[in-house]
Amino acid sequence: MAAGWLAAILNSCGCRPDPMSTLLSVLPPALASFLEALTLGAGYNAALVGIGAALLGGSAGAAGTFLFLRKRTLVSDAIAHATLPGVGLAFMIMVAFGGSGRSLVGLLIGSALSAGLGLLAVTAITRRTRLAEDTAIGAVLSVFFGFGIVLLTVIQVMDRGRQAGLEGFLLGSTAGMLFADALLIAAGGALCALLILLFRRPLTIVCFDPGYAEATGISVTRMDAVMLGLVLAITVIGLKLVGLILIVALLVIPPVTARFWSERTGTVAVLAGVFGALAGYVGSAISASSPNLPTGPIIVLVGVGLFVLSLLVAPRRGVLASAVAHRRFQHKVHLRQGLLALAHGEPIHDRLTLRVLARAGYLRADRQPTEAGRAEAARALLDENRWRIARQLHPQEAVTGRYDGLTGIAEVLTADEIASLDRHLGPKAAGA
Amino acid sequence: MTSPSLELVASDTSGQSDARDRVAALALSEMTVSYGGKPAVFSVEARIPEGAMAAIIGPNGAGKSTLLKATLGIIPRLSGRVEVFGVPLARARHRIAYVPQRASVDWDFPTTVEDVVLMGLSRELGLLGFVRSRHRQFAAACLDRVGMADFASRQIGQLSGGQQQRVFLARALAQRADLYLLDEPFAGVDAATERAIVDVLKSLKDEGRTVVCVHHDLATVTDYFDHCLMINLRKIAEGPVASTFTEANLQATYGGRLAGGHLEQLRLPA
């Protein structure tokens, strides 16, 4: 069982025969069973769940990207909560017609219908009344969820209700997942991915600039319907695995995580799919490695882990990168201020300015400027004077609009242009 | 429609006699748009001749942008008909390019300058098409025309306001339209950008295309435009700038809001 593809790879690089079982025997049991699940070695059912969760996470991340960019992520929460009455009613109808009520397809059709109704309610309230969308979401979410809980309570006291396992739809459960269920998730996920690929351009334009989209002939209403239809489909498919309370996390967290790493919509969508798939796969492996860990919450926690990591270390948009960039910028400002103060012979009191100047070698320990400091201060003053003249002479030019107190004028103007500025400055200033 | 002055009636008929023979690039009739029970634009009609460089002018809140958006179907209209080159709007969308107000989008959106310009090719690419190198070259040419060729790979939030406006114009150029509708293209841009945009618009006119701008700066109307539509809830006047942009019409459009000093600076046509 433990062999899996990892073992095959290890074997092919000339390691000892069956190193996987050796490796697993020396690890703590929890970690060993996690590794087993991760390499699809924890049994047929766990492998099904892992692959299904990865596909679901991937399509949820990609579809969620457009929801996120359209600034309508919370609509997915209303959709998810609105599935519950459908689950309950579908169960009751199936039981009334003599079935067991546990057919997943039947329950999902019911949930899709009531989620669709919830979505229509949000749209109608937003369009027909003066209420804002967030209010409509709050109202629809609580009414549908409340009604759903009432239905579940009623079902609990029914004869067949006790074994129905409907509460698994709240937080997700993989217990008793069938091959057909996994196939349904896989097929649904693949179909969603295909639709996203097909509509990526109009969806992007509608998210970025709905007015322009409408003017170009792309119907915003229709594209919103495509986007929310995808979200609805993913919510319904993911109900069994992640549960309706947490499915919104799978739609929101991967796109937000991916946004840290890219400045292009296509890349953000692909990365969100990758992060979602990773969270689904690793999360379900962790959940499968221990009998009492719920699948949905673990998947979400893995997703949050990726988010926090990205928040911290992502280049440019990450917290650390921004802090470093801010510090660098602050030092640049203090250096320039300090040099200008030196040039004007003004006393410097700011501690950071003193430190920056000293570190650059422009200030001695007794706070007197060094030779290099004097020269650099004169250069800064000359630069400042040239900017002043340039801005007086050409207030309307775009290049003079680039004055920010830090950019050297030589980066903006040619040597000839600077020479002509120096003629206006007079011989004394220019010679400094 | 009742006209505010006799002089206006005269100029209107003379302006339309030769225009009537040709198909108008943009013809609006009985356009009414309202926000929550209060009309913002009331029964406005307009007939912008093909090849014109037209300004829609009027005071703040007069309904200029609203008229433009309702024309394009971005906001619903209560009544009215829009014809573009003699056919209903729905059949002429491919001949229209729209440049929205800069403030209408989120500039932190994950997209590059090139991606924005490529949006102008969405109709040509369809759902199944892939962006190929010739599309990128064309986008680069559009960017070059507005002086933004060096910025293709920048995220759009890193641009100045004027640069953002030029990228929007480049996206419209990529559509190779016959009618360009711009919503306040000169609002809040630097002088260099204003010159660059005017040059591009004049070159479009020279190619025989029609340009319509919502415009707020009365001082530049006579320099930039040859046709103007003056509105303040209703249409006040429309026609060639030379005969329409008069003190009487300005007073009728702006009410008491234009002081004598302002009018003197406008170099109004005699």
**Cβ separation A264–B105 shorter than 8 A:** no
Could you tell me if residue A35 is inside a domain?
no
Is the confidence at residue A155, as pLDDT, over 60?
yes
Residues 6+ apart with CB under 8 A from A52: A177, A181, A182, A185, A186, A189, A241, A280, A284
Could you tell me if residue A64 is inside a domain?
yes
A402/A282 same-domain check? no
Could you tell me if residue A232 is inside a domain?
yes
Phi, psi of B26 (to 5 degrees): -140, 120
A249/A326 same-domain check? no
Residue of B nearest to A198 (CA): B127
A311/A357 same-domain check? no
Residue of A nearest to B103 (CA): A209
**Cβ separation A215–B105 shorter than 8 A:** no
- For residues A175-187, give the mean pLDDT: 78
Q: Is A205 on the interface with B (CB under 8 A)?
A: yes
Instruction: Out of A209, A215, A263, name the one closest to residue B96 (CB).
Output: A215
Q: Is A262 on the interface with B (CB under 8 A)?
A: yes
Between residues B168 and A347, the one the model is more confident about: B168
Between residues A203 and A399, the one the model is more confident about: A203
What's the pLDDT at B7?
41
B110: chain A residues, CB-CB within 8 Å:
69, 259, 262-265, 267-268
A363/A307 same-domain check? no
B96: chain A residues, CB-CB within 8 Å:
215
Q: How many CB atoms lie within 10 A of CB B23?
A: 14
What's the pLDDT at A10?
42
Mutation site, A259, A263, A271, A316, interface B, largest B CB count within 10 A = A263
Q: pLDDT, tens digit, for every residue of A275-287?
A: 999 999 999 888 8
CA-based max dimension of chain A = 102
Residues 6+ apart with CB under 8 A from A356: A331, A334, A335, A338
Set out the domains of chain B in order of their start, with CATH numbers: 6-255 (3.40.50.300)
- DSSP character at residue B130: -
What's the pLDDT at B17?
45
Structure confidence at residue A21 as a pLDDT band (50, 70, 90): low
Q: Scanning the structure block, which residue is given the tokens 């209403």? A: A221
> Of the ranges A102-106, A195-199, A301-305, B146-150, which one carries the lowest mean pLDDT score?
A102-106
What's the pLDDT at A2?
42
C-beta of residue B236 within 8 angstroms of C-beta of residue B187? no
Q: How far apart are CA A288 and CA A241, in angstroms?
A: 12
What's the pLDDT at A52?
85
**Cβ separation A216–B93 shorter than 8 A:** yes
Is the confidence at residue A271, as pLDDT, over 80?
yes
A182/A328 same-domain check? no
Tell which of A255, A290, A316 closes a domain: A316
Amino acid at position A249, single letter? A
Q: How far apart are CA A378 and CA A384, in angstroms?
A: 10
Instruction: Out of A215, A259, A397, name the one closest to residue B72 (CB).
Output: A215
Count of the separate structural domains present in chain A: 2
Structure confidence at residue A8 as a pLDDT band (50, 70, 90): very low
Mutation site, B65, B102, B122, interface A, largest A CB count within 10 A = B122
- For residues A39-49, give the mean pLDDT: 75
Q: Which domain holds residue A388?
A: 320-431
A240: exposed, middle or buried (C-beta count within 10 Å: 0-12, 13-18, 19+)? buried
A254/A292 same-domain check? yes
Could you tell me if residue A18 is inside a domain?
no
Tell which of A249, A282, A316 closes a domain: A316
pLDDT tens for the 270 residues of chain B, in order = 444 443 434 444 444 444 455 689 999 999 999 987 888 999 999 999 999 999 999 998 899 999 999 999 999 999 999 999 999 999 999 999 999 999 999 999 999 999 999 999 999 999 988 999 999 999 999 999 999 999 999 999 999 899 999 999 999 999 999 999 999 999 988 888 999 999 999 999 999 999 999 998 999 999 999 999 999 999 999 999 999 999 899 999 988 666 666 666 676 665
Strand order, beta sheet including B38-49? B38-49, B24-35, B79-84, B87-88
CATH code of the domain containing A269: 1.10.3470.10
B122: chain A residues, CB-CB within 8 Å:
201-202, 205, 216, 218
Could you tell me if residue A16 is inside a domain?
no
B191: chain A residues, CB-CB within 8 Å:
396-398
> Of the ranges A30-34, A309-313, B220-224, which one carries the lowest mean pLDDT score?
A30-34
Strand order, beta sheet including B179-183? B96-99, B179-183, B210-214, B53-57, B227-232, B234-240
What's the pLDDT at A285?
87
**Closest approach of chain A CAs to the CA of B191, in angstroms?**
6
Structure confidence at residue A49 as a pLDDT band (50, 70, 90): confident
**Closest approach of chain B CAs to the CA of A123, in angstroms?**
17
B98: chain A residues, CB-CB within 8 Å:
211-212, 215-216
A235/A86 same-domain check? yes
**Cβ separation B192–A201 shorter than 8 A:** no
A–B interface: beta-carbon pairs under 8 A: 86
Instruction: Out of A199, A208, A216, name the one closest to residue B109 (CB).
Output: A208
A268/A338 same-domain check? no
Structure confidence at residue A163 as a pLDDT band (50, 70, 90): low
Q: Is A26 on the interface with B (CB under 8 A)?
A: no
Could you tell me if residue A258 is inside a domain?
yes
Report which of B257, B254, B241, B180 is spatially closest to residue B214, judged by C-alpha positions.
B180
Instruction: Out of A199, A211, A268, name the one closest to residue B100 (CB).
Output: A211
- Interface of chain B toward chain A, CB-CB under 8 angstroms: 36, 69, 72-74, 93-94, 96, 98, 100, 104-106, 109-112, 115-116, 119, 122-123, 125, 127-128, 155, 160, 162, 171, 175, 181, 190-193
Is the confidence at residue A29, as pLDDT, over 70?
yes
3-state secondary structure at position A130: coil
What's the pLDDT at A398?
66
Long-range contacts of A406-414 (CB under 8 A, 24+ apart): A406/A332, A406/A333, A406/A336, A408/A383, A409/A383, A410/A383
- For residues A31-35, give the mean pLDDT: 78
**Cβ separation A198–B116 shorter than 8 A:** no
A164/A214 same-domain check? yes
**Cβ separation A259–B122 shorter than 8 A:** no
Could you tell me if residue A9 is inside a domain?
no
Instruction: Out of A205, A218, A268, name the one closest to residue B110 (CB).
Output: A268
A234/A173 same-domain check? yes
Arithmetic mean of pLDDT over chain A? 86
A312/A337 same-domain check? no
Tell which of A291, A316, A341 closes a domain: A316
B36: chain A residues, CB-CB within 8 Å:
130
**Cβ separation B111–A201 shorter than 8 A:** no
Structure confidence at residue A43 as a pLDDT band (50, 70, 90): confident
- For residues A51-58, give the mean pLDDT: 89
B69: chain A residues, CB-CB within 8 Å:
211
Q: How far apart are CA B54 and CA A387, in angstroms?
A: 39
Could you tell me if residue A326 is inside a domain?
yes
A193/A52 same-domain check? yes
ipTM of the complex: 0.88
- For residues A101-122, give the mean pLDDT: 92
Between residues A19 and B130, the one the model is more confident about: B130
What's the pLDDT at A12?
46
- For residues A396-420, give the mean pLDDT: 80
- For residues A307-316, give the mean pLDDT: 94
Q: pLDDT, tens digit, for every residue of A116-139?
A: 999 999 999 999 998 999 999 999
Q: Is A265 on the interface with B (CB under 8 A)?
A: yes
- % of residues, chain A, pLDDT over 70: 89
B123: chain A residues, CB-CB within 8 Å:
216-217
